[in-house]
Structure 1
């Protein structure tokens, strides 16, 4: 697919670009309104393809949970190994579409690898993530980011209450969640491992606060997010922070999301996930 179309879709999903304006610009790129709507159907996520790890079986159990934050009650999706034991815990952080079937599947993938996995819903205060992705993105954009950060930090307090949690904590986030993963690395001293997929970088001045080991995954074609890499990496080196940084040649933003149509890159996604699970195994177990 034409990179100009991919870039326009990225602008639509990450900046305040109204749907009507996006479709008009897409029609100019594709040549007609009919072609624009056909292209849009290819680009938009398809959650009917979201399940790679079933809800039951495969040695995991899942449940819907809630936890208090001080000002609201957060909703979350919990998955963990069914075999009794003590396990490290990983907070899974969704994209700017909220807690959807794809992220729930990713949460089960983490549990299937031998970890307790908790995916909080940033839109809990609004009743939870709506089915409409445009509505979810709009609600995400209206969040109070300082309060939202505290809501995710409180997830670790909840995990500490679980009898099968061994007290070792990690996090992994994607896009909006990748930025949150970087922020948790800054603000949660107990965090041992933070993985960010194509997420906005923290302020360089905050990097010395990071105690966790950091693993960063970026897509070569993702110019918007990649603009902050050099400054972040320089700060990580200067602070002596343990980190791994991977760039995936030819990959687009959201390359790990297997419901994201032409932006999904199977080879890059598989390699990045193998690296993620290896990282958590090394740092948390």
Structure 2
């Protein structure tokens, strides 16, 4: 398995252990990512299964938000968005779907930029493992509202696109795409932005969430022009690629996200040893995916502060 296949497989195994997926659902998702039902079964066999649904002790006191982080996680919804949901018709932004020319068939993307048309720094946005969803489009518009020319690239563009494939199929498609292709697609997205009169190609940053956080980390290692990166709870890149990082990195984590957080000491040490600009921010009582205001793990307080810290980082380094 490559770097991202392992991440995706481990994520679905974790959801199985937490009772968010049935064994059958987890097998299907992991097999779609790895291309092997045998490997998927082996991965799940090594997991501690969730309590049986027919065990009265496991269902006592259960609620629709079981497994979500304590605190404000239950307040999910657009009205509680960390920087306020920005509607597509907001007069301060121009937002549209775009086609990005490449040497391969064109990429699809979602573009948002300030309606004053003044040249703005670029922020590339990488989606989660469910693709370029309405939530990611909203995040892209939030950056435009904050003064950036933002582009989210649909990494399953050549497989029908996120909307055409459906959220349930996107992880398997992503698992079959080379990490090198993710990098190439985002570089094509950056070049496309550089040709636009409302964008400043030399001032470019990137953020991403979950799977997209991992892509953001890898872009920091592979794209020397990247000035700043804010990966949200994503797997760090191979440590032997850390010397290549030129961007200032502020990595965002949730305290309850043990699987991802286990990698913090290694990446922190590698960044320090290579004299890189790095800061890890860990939010108490926040879990994986806490920034997504459409999900059960949403934590409004942590998301609001993480958004502010993201804008602060880009303002400083872009």
Aligned residue among 52, 60, 63 for 1:28: 52
State how far apart, in whole Å, the 1-side matches of 2:241 and 2:181 are.
18
Deviations 1:137-169 (A, max 9, x none): 222222222222211221111111011112210
The alignment yields a C-alpha RMSD, in angstroms, of 3.0
User: Would the alpha carbon gap of residues 124 and 42 (structure 1) be closer, same or farther in structure 2, given more than 3 Å must change?
Assistant: farther
Quote how far apart the aligned CAs of 1:103 are.
Answer: 0.4
User: Would the alpha carbon gap of residues 216 and 42 (structure 1) be closer, same or farther in structure 2, given more than 3 Å must change?
Assistant: same
Q: Say if 1:11 and 1:17, in contact at 8 Å, map to a contact too.
A: no
Aligned residue among 113, 118, 124 for 2:151: 118
Quote how far apart the aligned CAs of 1:206 are.
Answer: 0.6
Structure 2 residue aligned with 1:136? 170
Structure 1 runs, 4 residues or longer, greater than 6 Å off: 38-44
Aligned residue among 265, 272, 280 for 1:245: 280
Structure 2 residue aligned with 1:265? 299
Question: When the two structures are superposed, what TM-score results if normalisation uses the length of structure 1?
Answer: 0.85
Secondary structure at the residue paired with 1:54? coil
State how far apart, in whole Å, the 2-side matches of 1:138 and 1:122 are.
12
Secondary structure at the residue paired with 1:259? coil
In structure 1, the gaps of 5 or more residues are none
Deviations 1:85-124 (A, max 9, x none): 1100100100000000000000011111000000000110
Q: Say if 2:182 and 2:215, in contact at 8 Å, map to a contact too.
A: no
Quote how far apart the aligned CAs of 1:65 are.
Answer: 0.8
User: Would the alpha carbon gap of residues 234 and 155 (structure 1) be closer, same or farther in structure 2, given more than 3 Å must change?
Assistant: same
State how far apart, in whole Å, the 2-side matches of 1:176 and 1:280 are.
21
Quote how far apart the aligned CAs of 1:31 are.
Answer: 3.7
Quote how far apart the aligned CAs of 1:40 are.
Answer: 7.5
Structure 1 residue aligned with 2:314? 280
Structure 2 residue aligned with 1:108? 141
Quote how far apart the aligned CAs of 1:11 are.
Answer: 7.8
